[in-house]
Amino acid sequence: GEDVEQSLFLSVREGDSSVINCTYTDSSSTYLYWYKQEPGAGLQLLTYIFSNMDMKQDQRLTVLLNKKDKHLSLRIADTQTGDSAIYFCAESRSGNTGKLIFGQGTTLQVKP
Protein backbone atom coordinates (compact mmCIF):
# COMPACT_ATOMS: atom_id res chain seq x y z
CA GLY A 1 0.00 0.00 0.00
CA GLU A 2 0.93 3.65 -0.11
CA ASP A 3 0.55 4.49 3.57
CA VAL A 4 3.02 6.49 5.55
CA GLU A 5 1.83 6.69 9.13
CA GLN A 6 2.65 8.96 12.03
CA SER A 7 1.18 9.55 15.45
CA LEU A 8 -0.84 12.76 15.43
CA PHE A 9 0.33 14.54 18.54
CA LEU A 10 3.34 14.81 20.87
CA SER A 11 3.77 17.10 23.86
CA VAL A 12 7.13 17.68 25.58
CA ARG A 13 8.67 20.15 28.03
CA GLU A 14 11.20 22.69 26.88
CA GLY A 15 14.72 21.25 27.19
CA ASP A 16 13.59 17.64 26.85
CA SER A 17 14.22 15.49 23.78
CA SER A 18 11.39 14.86 21.32
CA VAL A 19 11.09 11.70 19.27
CA ILE A 20 8.68 11.66 16.35
CA ASN A 21 8.04 8.30 14.74
CA CYS A 22 6.98 7.27 11.26
CA THR A 23 6.31 3.95 9.55
CA TYR A 24 6.17 3.34 5.82
CA THR A 25 5.21 0.36 3.72
CA ASP A 26 7.26 0.39 0.52
CA SER A 27 10.63 -1.33 0.74
CA SER A 28 11.73 0.34 -2.51
CA SER A 29 11.92 3.73 -0.81
CA THR A 30 15.17 5.49 -1.70
CA TYR A 31 15.16 8.69 0.32
CA LEU A 32 13.14 9.54 3.41
CA TYR A 33 12.52 13.12 4.45
CA TRP A 34 11.42 15.16 7.42
CA TYR A 35 9.58 18.41 6.84
CA LYS A 36 8.47 21.05 9.37
CA GLN A 37 5.37 23.21 8.96
CA GLU A 38 4.91 26.25 11.18
CA PRO A 39 1.49 27.96 11.44
CA GLY A 40 0.58 29.83 8.28
CA ALA A 41 3.59 28.56 6.37
CA GLY A 42 4.49 25.90 3.84
CA LEU A 43 6.58 22.82 4.47
CA GLN A 44 10.25 23.39 5.17
CA LEU A 45 12.73 20.60 4.45
CA LEU A 46 14.54 19.77 7.70
CA THR A 47 16.65 16.76 6.84
CA TYR A 48 16.71 13.55 4.84
CA ILE A 49 18.32 10.12 4.91
CA PHE A 50 19.25 7.73 2.13
CA SER A 51 17.85 4.26 2.52
CA ASN A 52 21.25 2.57 2.82
CA MET A 53 22.04 4.59 5.94
CA ASP A 54 20.75 3.87 9.42
CA MET A 55 21.54 7.16 11.13
CA LYS A 56 22.14 10.78 10.25
CA GLN A 57 22.90 13.60 12.67
CA ASP A 58 22.52 17.29 11.90
CA GLN A 59 23.05 19.60 14.89
CA ARG A 60 20.08 18.98 17.24
CA LEU A 61 18.40 16.58 14.81
CA THR A 62 19.06 12.84 14.66
CA VAL A 63 17.34 10.65 12.10
CA LEU A 64 17.22 6.90 12.69
CA LEU A 65 16.15 4.45 10.00
CA ASN A 66 15.28 0.81 10.61
CA LYS A 67 14.82 -0.49 7.10
CA LYS A 68 13.88 -3.99 8.23
CA ASP A 69 10.94 -2.66 10.24
CA LYS A 70 10.30 0.25 7.83
CA HIS A 71 10.52 2.65 10.76
CA LEU A 72 11.88 6.18 10.68
CA SER A 73 12.30 8.51 13.62
CA LEU A 74 13.32 12.12 14.18
CA ARG A 75 14.89 13.03 17.49
CA ILE A 76 15.13 16.71 18.45
CA ALA A 77 17.56 17.32 21.29
CA ASP A 78 17.00 20.17 23.77
CA THR A 79 13.58 20.97 22.32
CA GLN A 80 12.71 24.67 22.25
CA THR A 81 9.36 26.46 22.03
CA GLY A 82 10.31 27.45 18.47
CA ASP A 83 10.26 23.77 17.56
CA SER A 84 6.47 23.71 18.05
CA ALA A 85 5.10 22.83 14.60
CA ILE A 86 3.74 19.98 12.53
CA TYR A 87 6.35 17.47 11.37
CA PHE A 88 5.82 15.40 8.25
CA CYS A 89 7.77 12.37 7.15
CA ALA A 90 7.80 11.53 3.46
CA GLU A 91 9.24 8.79 1.29
CA SER A 92 10.57 8.88 -2.24
CA ARG A 93 10.45 5.66 -4.20
CA SER A 94 12.87 4.28 -6.74
CA GLY A 95 12.18 5.67 -10.21
CA ASN A 96 9.67 8.10 -8.83
CA THR A 97 11.84 10.97 -7.71
CA GLY A 98 9.98 14.13 -6.87
CA LYS A 99 6.71 12.40 -6.09
CA LEU A 100 6.78 12.06 -2.34
CA ILE A 101 4.34 10.12 -0.21
CA PHE A 102 3.59 12.08 2.97
CA GLY A 103 2.42 11.02 6.38
CA GLN A 104 -0.45 12.91 7.97
CA GLY A 105 1.87 14.93 10.20
CA THR A 106 2.69 14.96 13.92
CA THR A 107 1.86 18.11 15.88
CA LEU A 108 4.66 18.82 18.36
CA GLN A 109 3.68 20.98 21.32
CA VAL A 110 6.54 22.30 23.45
CA LYS A 111 5.56 23.53 26.89
CA PRO A 112 7.74 26.11 28.67
Partner 1 sequence: ETGVTQTPRHLVMGMTNKKSLKCEQHLGHNAMYWYKQSAKKPLELMFVYSLEERVENNSVPSRFSPECPNSSHLFLHLHTLQPEDSALYLCASSQEGGRNSPLHFGNGTRLTVT
Interface contacts to partner 1, rule CB under 8 A: 30-31, 33, 35, 40-45, 48, 50, 88, 90, 92, 97-100, 102-105
Q: Which is nearer to partner 1, 72 or 100 (CB)?
A: 100
Nearer to partner 1, 74 or 105 (CB): 105
Q: How far is the CB of 103 from partner 1 (least distance, A)?
A: 7
User: CA distances (Å), 68 to each of 24, 52, 106, in order?
Assistant: 11, 11, 23
CB of residue 44 to partner 1, shortest distance in Å: 7
- Between 25 and 50, whose beta carbon lies closer to partner 1? 50
Q: Closer to partner 1 by CB, 82 or 98: give it.
A: 98
- Max CA distance (Å), the chain: 44
State the DSSP H helix or E strand holding residue 36, giving kind and residue range, or none if neither: strand 29-37
Work out how close the CB of 105 gets to partner 1 at its nearest, in angstroms, rounded to a whole number.
8
Which among 41, 109, 112 is positioned nearest to 76, based on CA atoms?
A: 109
**Side-chain half-sphere exposure of 39, counting CA atoms within 13 A:** 4
